[in-house]
Chain A
Amino acid sequence: MLYFSRWRVIGILATAIIVCLFAVPNFISPETVAKWPQWAQRHLVLGLDLQGGSHILLQVDAADVKRQKMDALRDDVRRTLRDAKIGYTGLAIRGDAVEVRIRDDQNFNEALSKLRELSVPLGGLLGSTGQRSLDVTDAGSRLVRLTVTDAAMNERIRQVVEQAVPIIEKRVNQLGLVEPTIQRQGFDRILVQVPGLGDPQRLLDIIGKTAKLEFRLVDTSMSAQDALSGRVPADAEVLYEGKTDPKTPILVQKQVLVSGDELTDAQPAFDSRTGEPVVNFRFNTAGARKFATVTQENVGRPFAIVLDNEVISAPVIREPILGGSGQISGNFTVESANDLAILLRAGALPAKLTPIEQRVVGAGLGKDQIEKGVQASYVGGALVVIFMIATYGLFGIFASVAVAVNVAMIFGTLSLLNATLTLPGIAGVVLTVGIAVDSNVLIYERVREEVRAGRTAIQALDAGFSRALATILDSNITTFIAAAVLFFIGTGPVRGFAVTLGIGIVTTLFTAFTVTRLIVAAWVRWTRPKTVPI
């Protein structure tokens, strides 16, 4: 057990040193490291709990997706029947279905087959699954019921996530934040992690808003108060203006004249006359043409600028706007004008996203936590080293060297994997120190026993190592299983703990099997001891 061939010695030392070296970039200023080759730049990433930052989990609002789908389906049905010149009544969304009654018996079958054509196979050209987008059923007495299949809903939700990720990316990037990560999680979720932002509410405002901008006409046929107390016209709805209570109700037509999709640019600015913050925008060609027509036809009438079903402002059209650019004003602050411009430039989210989990750590707290973690590590390490030397003397020093190598290798491996270090992760390292000496304790105690059983120094060391190593392997694998499970169920900081614990076990096994043995073997060769001072 104590004999090592020259090549094995070189192999062991090279492995240990190389792994340890990967930890080096963490201690050198980022500017210096940036000049190094790519492979040497790997480093630890501090978790959000240590550097401060926001972790926000968003989920696609399935109800909103469903509503959109149903609205689109109703419009499709209307257009299909109109194009086929089939008479119908009572086209409406009822519960989970769109229902329509065909007026005459003789063209019911034609209507049914036309409507069935609306249902398309899912999965595109490649992955056709045999599922279709709609269920079209004959509900008796000339009633056709169309429902969106679950498969189609799921497909749409998947698309929404796919489309939303780059939009959120654009928005967050425009806030000028460092290294945000935006990734889809599971089937209908998006995880946004942004290190070090002072105001989490602003981030939430930026990523949580759908930002659907619409230009619509104000319905002046009756006052909003009358509409609220009486009947709202079929083609209009009451929306509210302003953030302050009480909000002003405004009766707005449902028809969207021009939407935010047709914007090419939006910039925050100051109004040249009043000096208040505004947002300047510019339409693309098609949008500009539409906007020109609408404003020409409605001079003197108020129109509403609607963002996510809230009226930002409802100015009166004074003159036709032909140039395709305009200005939104509406009690903005500099920041909110800037935010709106960001939202408009990045575009609207395809559906509403709801934040379902939010964890924000201020930078100050993160700094405190690093300090505390580092302090605890030093104290823990020092206590263990003192105790080991008191207990095993020279061999205690060997053990301490092995543990130091172990810790350096943990940080090296973490850097190599670009792993995230969290406060529980630091706790994992400190615990590993406590546990890593266990492998040494097992070996030394075994050696002590063998010495008592009357073996010579060399025999005792040899037998001690060979017998203890099997036990070390067994006892560490159980802990490793626990760490692996924790890795799969945990999120954020807890996962950081699982990572350091798991890596710690692997490096502990490595050092116990090689480094400790190598040190002891070197000592034996050097001093040729008659007794073991243990």
Chain B
Amino acid sequence: MWHLRIVPDDTKFDFTRFRRFSFPLSAVLSIFAIALYFTHGLNFGIDFHGGTLMEIQAKSGQADLAAMREKLSSLGLGEVQLQQFGGPADVLIRVAQQPGGEAEQQQAVEKVRGALGDTVNYRRIEVVGPRVSGELLSYGIIGLFVAIGGILVYLWFRFEWQFALGAMIANVHDLVLTLGFMSIAQVDFDLTSIAALLTILGYSLNDTVVIYDRIREMLRRYKKMPMPELLNASINSTLSRSIITHVTVTLSLLALLLFGGNAIHSFTATMMFGVVLVGTYTSIFIAAPILIYLGVGTGRAAEEEKEAASAAKEPAKPRPTKARV
């Protein structure tokens, strides 16, 4: 029976040698992404910047953007952005946060409704006041750090600390590059983006963990194999799985991107970039090779002797890292 084989059975790519190339590349890209963040900035949505967002549909079936823009800019609401999206009748209106307090934001909506009247259907109205937007932003940032910390602790518990650290470096790198992408593409940065970032964090770690699991297994089995060779063998033996899984995730995301509609478009685009492009690259070219620099596997021979000695003394319970299900 014929089966699709994306990756040949027995690959022997020298992935770790690429670290001389991939590490500088990632460093440069990360610095570029951070620079982008400070110069180009993120396109903060109303969740984090406050303000009003309205999705309207012209009843005539054809929205006259110019006329609408003229009407709305005469309302004295500061910056009003209009954007055609979806069909010809659909317009997204963004009104910047109004100076003053919470009540002023509500009045902005009434003014816009007053100006457009009954010529349009109001499909979505979102108003986020200054207080809530500030809270949402701080929750989002706290959430990212809590997630990173929680995962770090879990990996530290399951692996040695070098693995946890390596995974963290690799995945902060993922987040930084994804933020760079969001800055270039000017994707709306809102609560959904935080969800995308956290999911990217989870999935790209998922990938890293699969490779690390194999590395750990190999470390136990081949006590004398040099580290670069061992890493290569680990990456190569999990390569087929990495690729296949990324294809399935890509297929799911592609379906969401093409058919999921506007509301989750920026979410899926960000995920696509983070999980598919960056995540795979990171696990193979950053997360695994970085273990060499973190000193994994250097004292294996000595450790073996020590272990043998202590095992002779107290043969009680196996180490938790060896637990098998």
Contact = CB atoms under 8 A, between A and B. Distances in A.
B4 A445 contact: no
A470 B324 CA distance: 6
Contact of A431 (B237, B253, B261): B253
Q: Please indicate which of the listed interface residues A368, A375, A476, A477 has the most CB atoms of chain B within 10 Å of its own CB.
A: A477
B251 A368 contact: no
A200 interface: yes
Interface string B106-143: 10011001000000011111111101100010011011
A50 to B, nearest CB: 10
A375 B259 contact: yes
A327 interface: no
Interface string B236-278: 0110110011011111111110111101100110010000000
Given A433-B252, A482-B199, A533-B1, A361 B123 contact: yes
Contact of B191 (A380, A387, A471, A491): A491
Contacts of A17: none
Contacts of B202: 478-483
Interface in B165-195: 191-192, 194-195
Given A391-B244, A452-B9, A57 B259 contact: no
A392 interface: yes
Main secondary structure of the interface of B (DSSP, over half): helix
Contact of A475 (B10, B103, B209, B217): B209
B324 A364 contact: no
A500 to B, nearest CB: 11
B255 A489 contact: no
A482 B151 contact: yes
Interface stretch (A157-165, A249-257, A350-358): A350-358
A479 B206 contact: yes
A482 B264 contact: no
B96 interface: no
Interface of B: 1-6, 9-10, 55, 57, 101-103, 106, 109-110, 113, 121-129, 131-132, 136, 139-140, 142-143, 146-147, 150-151, 154-155, 158, 191-192, 194-195, 198-199, 201-203, 205-207, 209-210, 213-214, 217, 237-238, 240-241, 244-245, 247-256, 258-261, 263-264, 267-268, 271, 323-325
Interface in A493-517: 493-494, 497-498, 501, 513
Q: Which 4 A-B pairs have the closest CB atoms?
A: A380-B255, A434-B252, A479-B202, A482-B202
A388 B245 CA distance: 10
Interface in A428-455: 430-431, 433-435, 437-438, 441-442, 445, 448-449, 452
A467 B247 CA distance: 23
A362 B121 contact: yes
Contacts of B102: 59, 354-356
A478 B9 contact: no
Q: Please indicate which of the listed interface residues A365, A466, A489, A490 has the most CB atoms of chain B within 10 Å of its own CB.
A: A489
A121 interface: no
Interface in A364-403: 364-365, 368-369, 372-373, 375-377, 379-380, 383-384, 387-388, 390-394
B83 to A, nearest CB: 16
A392 B259 contact: no
Nearest to B140: A489
B154 A477 contact: yes
A486 interface: yes
Interface of A: 49, 57, 59, 200-201, 204, 354-362, 364-365, 368-369, 372-373, 375-377, 379-380, 383-384, 387-388, 390-394, 423-424, 426-427, 430-431, 433-435, 437-438, 441-442, 445, 448-449, 452, 466-467, 469-471, 473-486, 488-491, 493-494, 497-498, 501, 513, 533-534
Q: Please indicate which of the listed interface residues A380, A391, A392 has the most CB atoms of chain B within 10 Å of its own CB.
A: A380
Contact of B263 (A59, A369, A467, A513): A369
Nearest to A58: B102
A364 B261 contact: no
Contact of A441 (B2, B214, B245): B245
Nearest to B106: A355
Nearest to B143: A489
B195 A445 contact: no
Given A434-B251, A485-B198, A497-B195, A201 B110 contact: yes
10 contacts: A358-B127, A359-B125, A364-B123, A375-B259, A391-B3, A438-B249, A452-B10, A466-B324, A473-B325, A481-B147
A391 B4 contact: yes
Given A393-B3, A481-B202, A356 B209 contact: no
